[in-house]
Amino acid sequence: MSRLWAGAAIVGAALAVAGVGGAVEAPPPGALQEVADSFPHREHQGLFPLCQGCHEGVAIGEEELRMPQPSLCAQCHDGVDRERVGWVLPAPVVGPLDFSHPDHAERVEQGGEAPVRCAQCHVNSSGPSMALVPLEAARCFDCHGTPPDAHYEQENQCAECHRPLAAVDDGDLRFGGYPKPDGHGGREFLLGVHGAEALESVNRCSTCHVEDQCAGCHVDAGRSPIPQVPRAPADWSVPWIEAEYPKPDSHHSEDFTLSHGRPAPDAPECSTCHTQDDCAACHISPLPRPAEALQERPQVRAPGVGLEDRLPRSHDTPFFLTTHPVLAAAGPEGCASCHTDTYCAECHDSPRSPGYHPPSFGLRHSAAVGTQALECSNCHNRVAFCRECHADLGLEANGRLGAGYHDAEPVWLLRHAVAARQGLEQCTSCHTQSDCLQCHSAVLGAFKVSPHGPDFDPERARAKNPLICRACHLGGNP
Amino acid sequence: MRRRRSVVCVLSAPVILFLAHPAAAQGVRGWASTQVRFLEMQPLQLDTALAGDVVYDADGSARVDGQLIWCTQTPCTYYRPVAAKDAVVATQDIGLTAWGLGVTGLSVTVLMRGRDQVSGDLNWPVVSDPFDLMVGYAELRRGGVRLRAGRQETPTGLGFRAFDGGSARYDWRNLWIEGFGGRSLARGLSEPSRDALRGIEDFVRDKDAHLFGGAAGYRWGVSGIGVRYQREIWADRAGILSERASADVHTVLPFAIRFRSSVDYDVALDRVGKANVTLQRGFFGGRLMAELEARRYVPYFDLSTIWGFFSPVPFHEAGARLNLGLSRGTGLRLGFAAREYDDPNAVTVFRPLRNRGYRAEAKAMWSPARWVQLDAGYDLDWAAHSFLHSFDGSVATQWHQEIRTRVFGTSFQQFEAFRLGDGRAYGGGIGLEWTMTDRIRLDGMMSVIRQSAGRDGPNDAWNQTRASFGLRYEFGEDPGLRRRRR
């Protein structure tokens, strides 16, 4: 008989575990299905009509007395009157409920309600006695008046009943069975809701999550409150959350590139998704102070956002080359966060950059000098660069008053004043001051022609630099 | 022997850097660039023509060997091409920033250049100076404070200025303020004028000059404004070399119009210098970008030369540019600007000089496939002092992810500053870029320009052959660059 019962129990348990319980007629709605009991409670109900007969430790909170001792079984199953049974005390299983029967009973008593009987939770009230049913949250709701659908609502304080997932036996296997609460996931949840709620009560997150999952996205997993979420045991294989980094609204603003360093001097918000590597994608070392507060890449388990350097919007126009000087002059700190001074010099300092001007520019640069769209003297010293090169190519002015280079204009000497006032830079790329003084010196000049325009203020000029006045008005080197 | 040593030093610098490793806990990032360039040009020489060699056309114009010359005096003079000159020049640049020097926020930035003319009889500009420390300063950043000491080069609304000295800057919220001062260096050079210009410029004083001043700015959103004042005086306080101020502002106006403006002012001589206003607006999601620009330009000469007192007049220019981007690498760009010079208040005899100038550009870009890019452009510049119109075209091909070649051609005609005869030239070349690793890049270029059979100008005057070879090596830490290049 016992063998028959044992065989049936094994088959029933196997069916239940394999999930083929569906083959049995489904229970009516609201009813609880009887579980395959590892112990034939119903056959023993005559001997032990009260649960406390075997489970006396439950009510008083004594773990050792929670289950009957094998010696109790052996009193009948002594191998003489009854076949011996191999009952051993099961190892205590730590489940997700952080539940104490005595505490619960005390609270019920304090609430002035009738004591809760074991059968109310462990037995199907509509079935035969001692026909055990699985423990489900619905049984709690029966008394507590909470609709089952609300069990997983985000605002619930899970930790009131549940212990952290990491502390639950086989928690990694259980995790997959937990339904996703409403509101979990999505951009808003990721960007704001879950963080705020975690700060409010991180225990709520710990019910279903382990720290490792937080660290799968958060590059600053060492920052509060994440370390308060217990880590998973080493042998667990919790399904990790795939890292997702939705772009916050603030990042879409047009001035974000310029302003992102200002509100976060210690970078508390940036550090959720960004490492120092992200800053270094654009910023040059030594990194700005907010960046120093971020994690370094090797210390981080999460993938992080992984920024690549991109041109700021201000750079992304076809005319940036000609308009960038204003940006640089009005806000040099903007340039300096990504460029060193040496970067500017790569273009702005001849003759380092043969690629700056087109290959044939050397032959046809005279028009560009007249236009001055690139302001030649920023890079080229008029004397040491322009005049030296011109001289070497035979274009050195020798102070002649006769016909020379400007042979397209008749009587050039009498006509050059307008050209000189309009394009004095070009004149000085070949002519020396001495050339001009041959005529314009007030002392030694051949014609003593004044080079000053009508708006020239001699007193002001003399007050600023009297030395150079001597070149014309006293003669000789000032 | 000295030259050979300097060449060895210049060319071995990248190898030394390649083998160098930063000390523990230190960081260094930098680059080394080696450039070897060849240039062959056709110098001119002033010559006289014998009366018997001068041929007069029916309209009375005089020619020698087909070249138009002006014979207002005897003998006739003209510039003729002489034997070509060439030069091979090597330059070695090393730029680096080092940090982690034991003091929080302390870093050092250096940019140095060595140069040497390896061969040839064409004197390359500034090549006689074998070494320049162009930038070399220590920087300390603490919170909003930035202190720098050493050789600094500042890009400002007053142009690039370099000095040996110190600067202090403080950032407080959206406001920044800076003060600076030190020994002034000549513009475009990395030495004081007394050293750099002695012997090649008149009236160079054997005195240092000091540059000092201040700048401040405020930024809000995508907008910013900056003002700057700087003064340059002789070290013995004998006079002021320059006293200038500038203001720069950029913001976004209603209707998403970007506004940029700058102006500088010569405080010493009480006159406005350069000014610029730009309005920019994108249409159709930025595919069409339109820009209007008005600017004023007047050359600036400091008071160390007589030219600072020669009263140059400004020109005012108004222009518009359109850029149409149809797809990646395909588009059209058009631009036009007209300028007019202020009254020069000078007398001219005979006919007056042109007072206006125009420039125009048109460029078309077409990328039929990701690996090929075709460009064609036309430029026109038409003013009193010069005339240029040119056609340029190129085909750039990306053969491999790391290798790019470019074949280009050019044709141009120009009149130079009030000079007789025109030059018509055509030519082309080929360029190569090879990104060998994420840190090493090679480039090379060769171009040949030849003057066509000149109608009025000197034969061969525009002949030029140019070639260059470059090696750039980046070293040290640069995580951002590493990621970009993957």
Q: Which residue has the tokens 């240092």?
A: B208
The pLDDT score that the predictor gives to residue B23 is: 47
Find, among A89, A241, A69, A99, the residue nearest to A168 by Cα. Answer: A99
- Structure token pair of residue A185: 């996931």
- To the nearest whole Å, the CA of A255 is away from the closest chain B CA by 5
CB neighbour burial string for B92-131, b if at least 16 within 10 angstroms, e if fewer? bbbbbbbbbbeeebbbebbbbbbbbbbeeebbbbbbebbe
Shortest CA distance from B61: residue in chain A: A408
d(CA B243, CA A419): 26
- To the nearest whole Å, the CA of B160 is away from the closest chain A CA by 5
Dihedral in degrees, nearest 10, Cα atoms A58, A62, A67, A71: -140
- Structure token pair of residue B481: 């660059």
d(CA A272, CA A293): 12
List of residues 6+ apart from B131 with CB closer than 8 A: B112, B113, B114, B115
> Where does B93-214 have alpha helices with state H?
193-196
Q: How many Cα neighbours within 13 Å face the side chain of A182?
A: 7
Q: Do A421 and B479 touch (CB under 8 A)?
A: no
Q: Do A407 and B420 touch (CB under 8 A)?
A: yes
The pLDDT score that the predictor gives to residue B465 is: 94
Highest mean pLDDT among A370-384, B164-178, B343-357: B164-178
> Where does A123-235 have alpha helices with state H?
137-144, 171-175, 187-188, 194-200, 202-206, 211-214
Global model pTM greater than 0.90: no
- Whether residue B383 has pLDDT greater than 90: no
Q: Which residue has the tokens 């000098």?
A: A369
pLDDT band at A349 (very low <50, low <70, confident <90, very high): low
- Structure token pair of residue B322: 């359109």
How far CA B12 is from CA of A52, A98, B7, B8, in Å, comes to 92, 73, 8, 6
pLDDT band at B363 (very low <50, low <70, confident <90, very high): very high
- Whether residue A59 has pLDDT greater than 50: yes
Q: Report the amino acid identity of residue B80.
A: R
The pLDDT score that the predictor gives to residue A1 is: 40
The pLDDT score that the predictor gives to residue B375 is: 95
Hey, which residues does B263 pair with through a beta bridge? B247, B275
B188 vs A: CB within 8 A: yes
The whole-chain average pLDDT of chain B stands at 87
Shortest CA distance from A451: residue in chain B: B310
Find, among B260, B312, B37, B445, the residue nearest to A453 by Cα. Answer: B312
Secondary structure of residue B145 in the 3-state scheme: strand
The pLDDT score that the predictor gives to residue A32 is: 40
Q: Do B449 and A367 touch (CB under 8 A)?
A: no
The pLDDT score that the predictor gives to residue A355 is: 63
pLDDT digit string (tens) for A116-151? 888 888 887 777 778 887 777 777 777 877 776 777
List of residues 6+ apart from A160 with CB closer than 8 A: none
Q: Tell me which residue in A314, A379, A404 faces B46 most closely, judged by beta carbons.
A: A404
- Whether residue B36 has pLDDT greater than 80: yes
Secondary structure of residue B301 in the 3-state scheme: coil
Contact indicator for B98, B26 with CB cutoff of 8 Å: yes
Q: What angle do CA B465, B469, B470 make, to 5 degrees?
A: 140
* Percent helix, strand and coil across chain A, each to the nearest 5: 45, 0, 55
pLDDT band at A17 (very low <50, low <70, confident <90, very high): very low
Contact indicator for A383, A376 with CB cutoff of 8 Å: no
Residue in A296, A382, A407, A474 to test binding to B, most B beta-carbons within 10 Å: A407
- Structure token pair of residue B208: 């240092």
pLDDT band at A6 (very low <50, low <70, confident <90, very high): very low
Q: Report the amino acid identity of residue A72.
A: L
Contact indicator for B417, B431 with CB cutoff of 8 Å: no
How far CA A461 is from CA of A7, A26, A472, B242, B339, in Å, comes to 117, 107, 13, 11, 29
How far CA A323 is from CA of A371, B70, B153, B280, B380, in Å, comes to 16, 43, 20, 10, 21
Secondary structure of residue A251 in the 3-state scheme: helix
φ, ψ (nearest 5 deg) of residue A476: 95, -175
Q: Would you tell me which residues 363-392 of chain A have a C-beta closer than 8 angstroms to some C-beta of chain B?
A: 363-364, 366-372, 375, 377-389, 392
pLDDT band at B227 (very low <50, low <70, confident <90, very high): very high
DSSP letters for A407-442 = TTSTTHHHHHHHHHHH-HHHHHTT--HHHHHHHH-T
The pLDDT score that the predictor gives to residue B183 is: 96
Q: Do A308 and B77 touch (CB under 8 A)?
A: no
Share of chain B above pLDDT 90, in %: 55
DSSP letters for B365-387 = EEEEETTEEEEEEEEEEE-SS-E
CB neighbour burial string for A420-454, b if at least 16 within 10 angstroms, e if fewer? bbbbbbbbbbbbbbebbbebbbbeebeeeeebbbe
d(CA B215, CA B242): 16
Q: Which residue has the higher pLDDT, B297 or A249?
A: B297
The pLDDT score that the predictor gives to residue A85 is: 85
B167 vs A: CB within 8 A: no
Contact indicator for A307, B229 with CB cutoff of 8 Å: no
The pLDDT score that the predictor gives to residue A352 is: 46
pLDDT digit string (tens) for A369-419? 888 888 888 888 888 889 988 988 888 886 656 657 787 777 788 888 888
List of residues 6+ apart from A25 with CB closer than 8 A: none
Mean pLDDT throughout B443-450?
Answer: 93
Hey, which residues does B245 pair with through a beta bridge? B229, B265
| Inter-chain Cβ pairs, chain A and chain B, closer than 8 A | 449
- First-to-last alpha carbon distance for chain A, in angstroms, is 130
d(CA A163, CA A206): 8
Output the CA torsion sign for A364, A365, A370, A373.
Answer: positive
pLDDT band at B77 (very low <50, low <70, confident <90, very high): confident
Cβ neighbours of A60 (radius 10 Å): 12
The pLDDT score that the predictor gives to residue A75 is: 86
Cα radius of gyration (chain A): 45
- Whether residue A188 has pLDDT greater than 70: yes
Q: Is the peptide bond before A92 cis (omega within 30 degrees of 0)?
A: no
Q: Would you tell me which residues 232-261 of chain A have a C-beta closer than 8 angstroms to some C-beta of chain B?
A: 254-255, 258-259
Residue in A284, A350, A381, A450 to test binding to B, most B beta-carbons within 10 Å: A381
Q: What is the ipTM of this complex?
A: 0.88
DSSP letters for A262-318 = SS-TT-TTGGGT--HHHHHTTSPSSPPHHHHTSPPGGG--S----------GGG-ST
**How buried is residue B246: exposed, middle or buried, by Cβ count under 10 Å (0-12/13-18/19+)?**
buried
Hey, which residues does A203 pair with through a beta bridge? none
**How buried is residue B284: exposed, middle or buried, by Cβ count under 10 Å (0-12/13-18/19+)?**
exposed
pLDDT digit string (tens) for B413-444? 888 777 777 778 899 999 999 999 888 999 99
Q: Do A372 and B299 touch (CB under 8 A)?
A: yes
φ, ψ (nearest 5 deg) of residue A259: -105, -5
Measure CA A160 to chain center: 32
CB neighbour burial string for B216-235, b if at least 16 within 10 angstroms, e if fewer? bbbbeebbbbbbbbbbbbbe
Q: Tell me which residue in A258, A286, A425 faces B107 most closely, judged by beta carbons.
A: A286
Q: Do A281 and B262 touch (CB under 8 A)?
A: no
List of residues 6+ apart from A449 with CB closer than 8 A: A439, A440
Mean pLDDT throughout B320-346?
Answer: 93
